[in-house]
């Protein structure tokens, strides 16, 4: 039995209302986000697309709690970020969010296992247990023979898989990816997206991806297009593409 995403979606993973963000002040004030209303659903991969400077990364940073909005409300997994203290936001991110970025951000002096274990160690998980979980996740992403190597000994695609393993190791409910495939060849990018679809997407989880890479558009259940700080279009996947995505889901 396959999971049918449309039937399991409940409340939004992310809810934004009248969201704005300005930089500078006075004559130098620059509006970057202009009154965004947006729901991103659990159980889905949502893509944010648009030209450079359209506000995608700023929006992603606000959802992640790394940047405060100028006005509006941000709810992530049912929690209002504006009502959290800074320490509580940090604890919330550690427990619930996973991050994967274009540049991988692996620590060069640490092995793959040590890199993947970082979120667990930061959350206070005992070292032995954190390393076991990290190794298990590396096996799941196809790097079980690379547990003790350094990042410089890996290909770009392998480093990206380590980055995804690190993003997923603490079982986050919201996975946030900023241009995760733009530096990868077509085959590796396809493999990375299939990995997200099979491991990261569950009825109680969501994936948000900022991307310019139209090769991965077919993996998005919803594609939101941004321009000049606004959402100008939102399109759900065509039925054929939705059915193709569901074939990537694990059997129940």
- Tens place of pLDDT per residue across the chain (252 aa): 333 334 344 579 999 999 999 999 888 899 999 999 999 999 899 999 999 889 999 999 999 998 999 999 999 999 998 888 889 998 899 889 998 887 788 999 999 999 999 999 988 999 999 999 999 999 988 899 999 999 999 988 888 889 989 999 998 999 999 888 876 778 877 877 887 888 777 888 899 999 988 888 888 999 999 999 999 999 987 654 555 556 555 555
Cα–Cα distances (Å) from 153 to 81, 164, 196, in that order, read: 39, 17, 24
Q: According to the model, what pLDDT value does residue 247 have?
A: 57
Tell me how far apart the alpha carbons of residues 29 and 24 are, in angstroms, rounded to a whole number: 4
Q: Looking at the chain, how many residues does it have?
A: 252
Quick one: residue 179, left, alpha or beta (phi over 0 = left, psi -120 to 50 = alpha)? Answer: left
Q: According to the model, what pLDDT value does residue 103 have?
A: 78
Domain 5-246 fold:
Rossmann fold (3.40.50)
For the chain, the domains span 5-246
Tell me how far apart the alpha carbons of residues 24 and 27 are, in angstroms, rounded to a whole number: 8
Spatial strand order in the sheet of 206-210: 97-101, 174-178, 206-210, 45-49, 222-227, 230-236
Q: According to the model, what pLDDT value does residue 119 have?
A: 92
| Terminal C-alpha separation, the chain | 5
């Amino acid at each position: 039995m396959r999971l049918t995403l449309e039937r399991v979606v409940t409340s939004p993973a992310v809810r934004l209302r009248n969201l704005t963000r300005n930089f500078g002040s006075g004559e130098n004030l620059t509006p970057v986000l202009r009154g965004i209303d947006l729901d991103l659903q659990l159980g889905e991969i949502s893509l944010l697309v648009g030209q450079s400077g359209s506000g995608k990364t700023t929006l992603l940073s606000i959802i992640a709690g790394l940047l405060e909005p100028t006005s509006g409300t941000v709810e992530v997994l049912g929690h209002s970020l504006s009502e959290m203290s800074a320490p509580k936001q940090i604890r919330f991110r550690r427990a619930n969010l996973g991050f994967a970025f274009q540049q991988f951000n692996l620590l060069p002096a640490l092995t793959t296992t040590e890199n993947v274990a970082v979120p667990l160690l930061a959350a206070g998980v005992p070292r032995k247990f954190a390393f076991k979980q990290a190794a298990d996740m590396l096996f799941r992403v196809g790097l079980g023979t690379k547990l003790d190597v350094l990042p410089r000994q890996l290909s770009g695609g392998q480093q990206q898989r380590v980055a995804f393993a690190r993003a997923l190791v603490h079982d986050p409910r919201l996975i946030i990816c900023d241009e995760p495939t733009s530096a990868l060849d077509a085959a590796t990018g396809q493999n990375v997206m299939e990995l997200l679809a099979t491991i990261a997407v569950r009825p109680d989880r969501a994936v948000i991806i900022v991307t310019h890479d139209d090769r991965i558009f077919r993996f998005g259940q919803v594609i939101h297009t941004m321009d000049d700080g606004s959402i100008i279009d939102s399109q759900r996947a065509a039925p054929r593409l939705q059915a193709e995505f569901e074939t990537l889901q694990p059997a129940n």
